């Protein structure tokens, strides 16, 4: 089971480099506009008044009436950009210094009844002790909340005859051997165990790679219908450090249930 999940996640990331601009829940094209723009994925119309946030840079701006926006900040490494607008699914994508070398167009999707935004905040797991060569590579502004994150939420109004997915909008900083082999970090001599996902106390997945829109199917037998369910994300630890526990410092944003 573990192996199957890893392969599914991997296939996600074996897309060409341009995949950074193509993501779950949206479309993005480079260089088709004179300025960055947020559009409605269905209609192609600009989305005005959308909130664009880079939590790590403590930066916020809004799109104009036609959906255009300028980013007046240095990204400095790898970061998560969030797009929020009422009646649309909260959206995030991983960005770096190169993302905005040409204007980007980001398509966002209308929200529907079958999706639940469980948590749209950004979190840092770990111990604030990390290498400059880690897949984070940027400057951490956020303090760690510790090695794990737990959230409870009620699952109702879902169609339980269809699969239910947990979607992590974006996750950065994972320093597994696989992340290193994929060139996601540059740490020569160390790697970490993967973050683990628990659902109602059962481990359901490991996350080997950084990226956007990682979907994890919730085993239907574990779902408590119309009751409180619990998700826990536990970060890995540096497997080369035995003198003390060095947790892998990771950041993630947007926990969504899709059905």
Q: Binding marks (x or -) toward Ca ion, 130..149, rule CB under 5 A?
A: x-------------------
Nearest approach, Cβ of 175 to Ca ion (angstroms)? 9
Distance of alpha carbon 194 from alpha carbon 23, whole angstroms:
22
**CA end-to-end distance (rounded Å), the chain:** 21
For the CB of residue 43, give the shortest distance to Ca ion in the complex, in Å. 44
Residues of this chain, 218-257, that bind Ca ion according to CB under 5 A:
246-247, 249
Element spanning 9, H or E: helix 2-13
Minimum CB–partner distance for residue 119 and Ca ion (Å): 23
Q: How far is the CB of 130 from Ca ion (least distance, A)?
A: 5
Q: What's phi and psi for 17, nearest 5 deg?
A: -55, -30
- Whether the CB-CB separation of 236 and 193 falls below 8 Å is answered with yes
- For residues 124 and 140, what is the distance between their CA atoms, to the nearest angstrom? 9
Using rule CB under 5 A, residue 25 touches Ca ion: no
Residue closer to Ca ion by CB (options 127, 206) is 127
Q: Out of 46, 103, 126, 173, which residue is the one contacting Ca ion (CB under 5 A)?
A: 126
How far is residue 234's CA from residue 97's CA, in Å, rounded to a whole number? Answer: 28
Q: Got the DSSP string for 118-182?
A: EEEEEEEES-S---TTSTT-S---SPP--SEEEEEEE--S--TTS--EEEEEEEE---BHHHHHT
Select from 76, 129, 154, 227 the one that contacts Ca ion (CB under 5 A).
Answer: 129
Cβ distance to Ca ion smaller for residue 69 or 247: 247
Least separation in angstroms between residue 211's CB and Ca ion is 20
Report the side by side order of strands in the sheet with 165-172: 116-125, 250-258, 165-172, 211-217
Residue nearest to Ca ion (CB): 129
From 41-49, 109-117, 122-130, 196-204, give the range in contact with Ca ion by CB under 5 A: 122-130
By C-beta, is 46 or 126 nearer to Ca ion? 126
Q: What angle do CA 74, 78, 82 make, to 5 degrees?
A: 80
- Whichever of 249 and 258 has its CB closer to Ca ion, that residue is 249
* Distance in Å, CB of 127 to Ca ion, minimum: 5
Residues binding Ca ion (CB under 5 A): 126-127, 129-130, 246-247, 249
């Amino acid at each position: 089971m573990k192996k199957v999940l890893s392969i599914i996640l991997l296939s996600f990331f074996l897309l060409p480099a341009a995949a950074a601009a193509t993501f779950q829940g949206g479309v993005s094209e480079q260089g088709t506009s004179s300025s960055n723009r947020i559009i409605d994925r269905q209609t192609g119309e600009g989305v005005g008044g959308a909130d664009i946030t880079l939590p790590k840079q403590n930066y916020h701006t809004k799109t104009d009436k036609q959906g255009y926006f300028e980013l007046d900040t240095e990204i400095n490494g790898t970061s998560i950009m969030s797009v929020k607008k009422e009646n649309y699914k909260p959206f995030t994508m991983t960005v770096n210094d190169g993302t905005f070398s040409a204007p980007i167009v980001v398509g966002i999707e209308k929200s529907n009844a079958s999706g639940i935004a469980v948590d749209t905040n950004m979190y840092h797991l770990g111990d604030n002790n990390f290498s400059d060569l880690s897949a984070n590579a940027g400057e951490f502004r956020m303090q760690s909340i510790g090695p794990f994150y737990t959230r409870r939420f009620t699952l109702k109004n879902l169609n339980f005859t269809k699969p239910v997915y947990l979607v992590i909008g974006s996750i950065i900083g994972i320093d597994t051997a696989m992340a290193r082999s994929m060139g996601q970090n540059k740490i020569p001599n160390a790697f970490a165990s993967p973050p683990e996902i628990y659902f109602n106390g059962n481990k359901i997945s490991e996350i080997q790679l950084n990226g956007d829109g990682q979907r994890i199917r919730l085993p239907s037998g574990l779902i408590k219908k119309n009751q409180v369910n619990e998700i826990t994300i536990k970060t890995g630890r540096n497997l080369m450090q035995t003198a003390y526990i060095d947790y892998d410092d990771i950041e993630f944003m947007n926990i969504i249930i899709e059905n």
